[in-house]
Amino acid sequence: MIRPIYLLGSEVLKRKAEPADLGTGEELKALVNDLWETLAVSEGCGLAAPQIGVSLRVAVVDGDVMADVYPYLKGFKRTFINPVIVEESQEKCEYNEGCLSVPGIYADVVRPARIKVEYYDGNLEKKVEEFDKFAARMIQHEFSHLDGVLFTDLVAPVRKKLLAKKLQRIAAGKVATRYNSKIK
């Protein structure tokens, strides 16, 4: 089911999400399906459960939408349930990020260049995987949502000050999106 994407100003986006109960099989699979369906129509490269109003530690990423810029992402799709970053590189990298919950805003964010993640996949199988480049970026962005952190919380203070009025407009609901969205 396609769900509305919650925008900046929604309380659920600022809350640390709870671990998903792996014993709720069909319910959890339905949430994962809803995330994939909602992501597909919104044309983003990742989506976390809090962005559709569900405060659980579940996220999906789809590199296919970025494959024309980053060919190595062709076919890269992951479902993350109760993910934990168990290792991150000292090396950092900076990318310009955007977010479906903060439409029309883009800003440079510094994050670790490589990460190692322990998680359950969509089949509830435990995995440990390492990611780098833009895959690591997409994943860390979605994991930030699980901790109640938006990418705009991580930008340089000067940049955040420059974005303040635009962010206030979004939080007040004065924004148009090409996908179903809401503030709650």
Catalytic residue (choose from 27, 88, 130, 142): 142
C-alpha count within 13 angstroms, C-beta hemisphere, residue 151:
26
CB 109 within 8 A of CB 151: yes
Cα-based distances in Å from 129 to 17, 110, 120: 22, 21, 11
Tokens of 91: 């090396």
Name the helix (H) or strand (E) containing 41.
Answer: helix 25-42
From CA 32, how far away is CA 162, in angstroms rounded? Answer: 36
- Does residue 142 carry a catalytic annotation? yes
From CA 76, how far away is CA 78, in angstroms rounded? Answer: 7
Strand pairing class (92-99; 102-112)? antiparallel
CB 118 within 8 A of CB 128: yes
**Catalytic positions, please?**
142
